[in-house]
Amino acid sequence: MLTLNPFAELALIVPVFFMKFFVILMVLLIVIGTGLDMLHKKNVVYFFRNAQKAKKSAKTQLSTGVKTSVILKTVASDIATTSELGFGQRRIAHVLGMYGTILFWIGSFVLIFGYSDGIKAPDYISVIWHLGAMMTCLGGYWFWFFLRVDVSAEAHPWYRIITADLFVLALLACATFGLAWSFSLSAGATNLSYLFLILFILANLVLFGGVYWSKFAHMFYKPGAAIQKNLAEADGSRDNLPPPSDAPEQFGLGIKREKPKHY
């Protein structure tokens, strides 16, 4: 199963042009949805104004080298390893989901545009596609059933769904139905594979078509916010917040009665 290219099998019944057009359409939906989200929430305007305000209140003028160093450190730490989540299950689940999704999407792109027209794909590319989907499922389901703050801290049931959950649920549906489609193809269950293929397509339409209503666009905002925050720390503007106190933190013994979970 892991070395199967399901898109090559799909090319036997669907023109390759349609598959490539579908991928391009999904990219356009991301651009349109993110653009509408930016216009509605005015996030970019906020970040720009906040950066201008921080520049005026900066206590140190950062050189280009220092700025580059801060940005690279932010990318390597805050973005690439989600260090702001600390050490724990939540961070591991996010890293699994993030890198799994990246591998899953890259694998899909390469298999469709490079190896869906009769050219046999190298086994490792198909393995990357399947491994990415599995990592996405592992991190996503771990987060959904065990790590959501509103479930763990506020005693809501795991099946409580709100609009903000659209992104993670649609992403999990894509990975799950993609794996089910590939497995049914490798098992020779043709009729079942058609069902999972349809569900896989619908899940992608919901995921990429629902950018405006989901947290999809946050993937683009969070890196910018993290970089701006660390630059503000470096130049002393601190987003117009007061400096940290020199006095030691005094929480008393009460805070030690229950070990923090993930929030």
State the distance between the two ends of the chain, measured CA to CA, in whole angstroms: 38
Per-residue pLDDT at 122: 92
Per DSSP, 86 falls in state -
User: What does each of the 263 residues of the chain score in pLDDT, given as a tens digit?
Assistant: 788 999 999 998 899 999 999 999 999 999 998 888 878 777 777 777 777 777 777 778 888 888 888 888 888 888 888 877 777 788 899 999 999 999 999 999 999 999 887 788 899 999 999 999 999 999 999 988 887 766 656 667 777 888 888 999 999 999 999 999 999 999 988 889 999 999 999 999 999 999 888 878 777 777 877 888 888 878 777 766 666 666 555 655 555 556 655 54
Per-residue pLDDT at 70: 87
What distance in Å separates the CA atoms of residue 2 and residue 189, rounded to the nearest whole number?
A: 16
For 21-67, what is each residue's pLDDT tens digit?
Answer: 999 999 999 999 888 887 877 777 777 777 777 777 777 888 888 88
Per-residue pLDDT at 117: 79
Cα separations in angstroms, 112 against 53, 57, 177: 46, 50, 17
For 73-88, what is each residue's pLDDT tens digit?
Answer: 888 888 888 877 777 7
**Which one is the CATH code of 6-56+63-236: 3.30.70, 3.40.50, 1.20.950, 1.10.3110?**
1.20.950
CB-based contacts of 182: which residues, under 8 Å, 6+ apart? 1, 4, 6, 130
Per DSSP, 121 falls in state P
Per-residue pLDDT at 150: 65
Q: Angle at CA 231, nearest 5°, toward 230 and 234?
A: 90
Q: Are 26 and 17 spatial neighbours (Cβ–Cβ below 8 Å)? A: no
Sketch the domain layout of the chain as residue ranges: 6-56+63-236
Cα separations in angstroms, 178 against 67, 136, 209: 42, 11, 18
Q: Count the alpha carbons within 13 Å of 175 in the hemisphere toward its beta carbon.
A: 29
What phi-psi label fits residue 252: left (phi over 0), alpha (psi between -120 and 50 degrees) or beta?
Answer: left
Q: What does pTM read for this prediction?
A: 0.82
Choose among 47, 161, 145, 46: nearest CA to 89: 145
